[in-house]
Amino acid sequence: MGISLGKLNYCVTELARKARLTLSFLKRKVREYEEIKKQIRELSVEIEGKEGEDIFSEEVLEALDGVS
């Protein structure tokens, strides 16, 4: 093939490292998204209680649930 075993090993190792980094990044972003979604729901409930009307329709809140 023309590729040394050392180069191949390096490539595989780097791919694995990048895969771990990507997975870690995606997990962090999902946690952040879930926290923001929770905050939106809490603020929506808080605003409903103060003003007596729903700032976010159920359709919007359900769409948020469907995204994850």
For residue 47, what pLDDT is reported? 79
For residue 20, what pLDDT is reported? 97
Query: Is the pLDDT higher at 60 or at 17?
Result: 17
pLDDT exceeding 70 applies to what percent of the chain?
79
Across 9-41, b (16+ Cβ under 10 Å) vs e yields eeeeeeeeeeeeeeeeeeeeeeeeeeeeeeeee
Q: What is the mean pLDDT of residues 3-18?
A: 95
State yes or no: pLDDT of 48 exceeds 80. Answer: no
- Whole-model pTM above 0.75? no
